[in-house]
Amino acid sequence: MKIAAREDLKNARLEAAAKMEKQDIRVLVCAGTGCVASGSEAVYEEFRNQLEGREGISLDFAPHDGTKIVGVRHTGCQGICEIGPLVRIRLGDKVVQYVKVQPTDVSAIIQRTILHGEVIEHLLYHGQAQYVSPSDIPFIAKQTRIVLSNCGKYEPDSLSEYIYSGGFRALEKALFEMTPEQVIQEVSDSGLRGRGGAGFPTGRKWSSVAHQPDPVHYVVCNGDEGDPGAFMDGSVMEGDPYKMIEGMMIAAYAVGAQNGYIYVRAEYPLSVKRLREAIRNLEEAGLLGNNILGSSFTFHMHINRGAGAFVCGEGSALTASIEGKRGMPRVKPPRTVEHGLWSKPTVLNNVETYANVPRIIMEGAQWFRSIGSEGSPGTKTFSLTGAIQNTGLIEVPMGTTLRQIIYDIGGGIKSGGTFKAVQIGGPSGGCLTEKELDVGLDFESVKKYDAIIGSGGMVVMDQGSCMVEVARFFMGFTQRESCGKCTPCREGTKRMLEILQKIVDGKGELSDLDDLENLAQMVRSMSLCGLGKSAPLPVISTLHKFRDEYEEHIVDKRCRAHVCGKLRRFIIDEDKCVGCGKCARNCPAGAIIGARKMPHKIITDQCIRCGTCQENCAFDAIYIEY
């Protein structure tokens, strides 16, 4: 249906409400990347197949004839990815959350829950207690969902459901009740800061672009979430694409842009698909195009897929990539707000930033400021992963402590483990340790502890993670992803990686630590762009907080986490060895000696720690000592 004027939008709302409210029961199957991987699509199909044509039930929007109308819908990420596929059943006001649902569970759910309103206990979430409603589960109850408010409730592809959820009210308000200046003022007053990592005030950015003399402006959305271990922006794009697009449209109205670009990384095929579908639906409805809702506002959207370069998350590299060039950053100033895409003034914000905008326009700056901390209002999404009980996607007010996130929401460390550190901000961030558990997380506070909020990747580590190896891992990543344009980053990351590799290989010297520190400071202060400037952070933070682990690797040749393979020692158990000689024959280094039918011995100095002997031993006589 065409939504060409305010009147049409009003009718679309009524129509959407009529459709939604006719559904007596809604079956909401999570279609986030995590649950799709766990097989939620088969569950969704099974529900549709079994309900289709079933007596007493009409599927989705069939006319009301005394039968129960059951809507079977996909939703965005419901959060607790660990125990997917997740299914919510809405029965009137009551919502039941089922976890780990298999296609074979579907007929019981239909029979008992959908037809008779009973709860199936073994499919419920069991934590410290058994929870029926999702809002009772501590993991969900302790969150504040603004950006993710629709995830788990509505079909991401459906424009009608987005409109039902309150969608495009903010755009309508902006277009007809506010001037562009008022929109910018509201966003400035709200204190919204860029959620991509740097935390730059969004309102100030918009205002700079709006005041540029060049008449052509662009808005660009950075959906190139390349930080390994982070999937917040992907979840927003695939879970609630319209909200992010509405945010971009409001930005475009505010700064006077007619074209917007979304840059999505290629590893997120689901995000690309849902965004394309959303844009197509909006174009068909007339909500994207010329004279939107009959106003003078005209806006077109384009999607660009990334091609696997982490550096394209940097502003000037991202715009170069959209222009079809190598994604290499350039010297600034001039900044993107003056000289961005096609050399025009450009607003470049990240997915989560745009997704905050509609609600700010609707509820006002004061409301937004009532959430979060003084300097960092609002919420932040985090992807909680690693050695934690409940992995998944969360959204909490800025200023929430690490302890609340890990223990209250995340349910603590995975069985048997003890907390060691959290890597926050990915390869551009640092780690926080037990000492920092009670620090409220916001843009300022985290910086004091050699880390950054970053985009929101949060990887929890227990005693099984080696901090030196983690630093080497991140340096390996940034070294690979360095574009090579400036020398400090190109050469500095390479040299740092070599030193870290040397240490985990057991060949480190104590002087290496000073070299690392010096190199890290050099790269940090002299690199051209954010990638290089932040690349040494994981090294700096682990060096400062886990220096004893570095020293153990160097002096004692020991890795307490039992991770670094080159620091393990293979030992032959004399009681078990029968002297068959198979290990000695297969040893590539000739490091095993012993007479036939007598216990053999490994010469530690010659051993290259490859493990071939252990693989070949038929008597289980070779063990590892760390």
Partner 1 sequence: MLERSCYDLADRCIEKHGKKPASLIPVMEDIQDELRYLPGELLSYVAKQIGVTEADAYGVATFYENFSFEPKGKYEIKCCDGTACHVKKGIAVIEALQKELGLSKDKHTTDDMQFTLETVSCLGACGLAPTMMVNGKVHPRMTPDTAVALVRELRGDNT
Site residues (CB under 8 A) for partner 1?
33-34, 36-38, 81-82, 84, 225-231, 234-235, 266-269, 304-310, 321-328, 383-387, 391-393, 423, 426-427, 457, 459, 461, 464-465, 470, 473-474, 477, 483
CB of 188 to partner 1, least distance (A): 32
Least distance to partner 1, CB of residue 385, Å: 4
Distance CA 351, CA 354 (A): 5
Q: How far apart are CA 219 and CA 181, in angstroms?
A: 16
Distances in whole angstroms, Cα of residue 353 to Cα of each of 108, 350, 376, 587, 609: 42, 5, 13, 57, 49
Select 3 or 461, whichever has its Cβ closest to partner 1: 461
Nearest approach in angstroms of CB 352 to partner 1 is 14
CB of 430 to partner 1, least distance (A): 13
| Structure tokens belonging to residue 186 | 């509201």
CB of 244 to partner 1, least distance (A): 16
Nearest distance from residue 423's CB to partner 1, in Å?
Answer: 6
Q: In 286-417, where does DSSP find H-type helix?
A: 315-322, 351-363, 365-369, 402-403
d(CA 418, CA 462): 5
Which C-beta is closer to partner 1: that of 15 or that of 408? 408
Kindly state the smallest distance separating residue 159's Cβ from partner 1, in Å. 24
Give least dist CB 303 to partner 1, A: 9
- Residues forming beta bridges with residue 196, ordered by sequence position: none
Query: What is the four-CA torsion angle of 268, 219, 275, 392, rounded to 10 degrees?
Result: 50
Judged by beta carbon, residue 242 or residue 310, the one nearer partner 1 is: 310
Cβ proximity to partner 1: between 397 and 429 the closer is: 429
Nearest residue to 573 (alpha-carbon basis) of 626, 619, 610:
619
Peptide bond into 134 cis (omega under 30): no
**How far is residue 362 from each of residues 190, 247, 269, 365, measured CA to CA in Å?**
12, 12, 31, 9
Q: How far apart are CA 547 and CA 551, in angstroms?
A: 6
Neighbouring-strand partners of residue 372: 377
Phi and psi, residue 9, nearest 5°: -65, -40
For residues 11, 12, 16 and 18, what is the CA-based torsion angle, rounded to 10 degrees? 20
The smaller minimum CB distance to partner 1, of residues 202 and 465, is found at: 465
CA–CA separation, 350 vs 472, rounded Å? 28
State the minimum distance, in angstroms, from the CB of residue 366 to partner 1: 35
Can you say how many angstroms the Cα of residue 231 is from the centroid of all Cα atoms in its chain?
A: 2
Residues in the chain: 626
Q: Smallest gap, in angstroms, from Cβ of residue 462 to partner 1? A: 9
Write down the least CB distance from residue 120 to partner 1, Å: 23
> Is 612 strand, coil or helix?
helix
Tell me how far, at minimum, the Cβ of 615 lies from partner 1, in Å: 11
Question: Could you tell me the smallest distance in angstroms from the CB atom of residue 309 to partner 1?
Answer: 5
Of 190 and 381, CB closest to partner 1: 381
Q: Return the number of the residue (84 or 194) whose C-beta is nearest partner 1.
A: 84
Q: How far apart are the C-alpha atoms of 168 and 92, rounded to whole Å?
A: 26
User: Token digits for 455?
Assistant: 């985009």
Contact 259, 344 (CB under 8 A): no
Q: Which of 256, 171, 141, 172 lies closest to 210 in space, CA to CA? A: 256
Nearer to partner 1, 205 or 217 (CB): 217
- C-beta closer to partner 1: residue 257 or 328: 328
Q: Please say which residue, 144 or 391, places its beta carbon nearer to partner 1.
A: 391
- If the CB atoms of residues 419 and 474 are measured against partner 1, the closer one turns out to be 474
Nearer residue to partner 1 within complex by CB, 144 or 390 = 390
Cβ contacts of 374 within 8 Å, gap of 6 or more? none
Shortest separation between residue 424's beta carbon and partner 1, angstroms: 11
- Residue recorded with tokens 């991401």: 156
Find the shortest distance in angstroms from Cβ 35 to partner 1. Answer: 9
For 207-228, give the DSSP string: HHHHT-SSS-EEEEEEE---ST
Strands 457-462 and 379-386: parallel
Q: Which is nearer to partner 1, 238 or 436 (CB)?
A: 238
Nearer to partner 1, 20 or 309 (CB): 309
CA 597 to chain centre: 57
Token pair, residue 308, equals 């696997």
Locate 132 and state its tokens: 């029926």
Nearest residue (CB) to partner 1, 160 versus 304 = 304
* Contact present, 31 and 273 (Cβ < 8 Å): no
**CA dihedral of 491, 493, 494, 500, whole degrees rounded to 10:** 140
The torsion of the CA quartet 388, 394, 397, 403, rounded to 10 degrees, works out to -10
**How far is the C-alpha of 159 from the C-alpha of 139, rounded, in Å?**
29
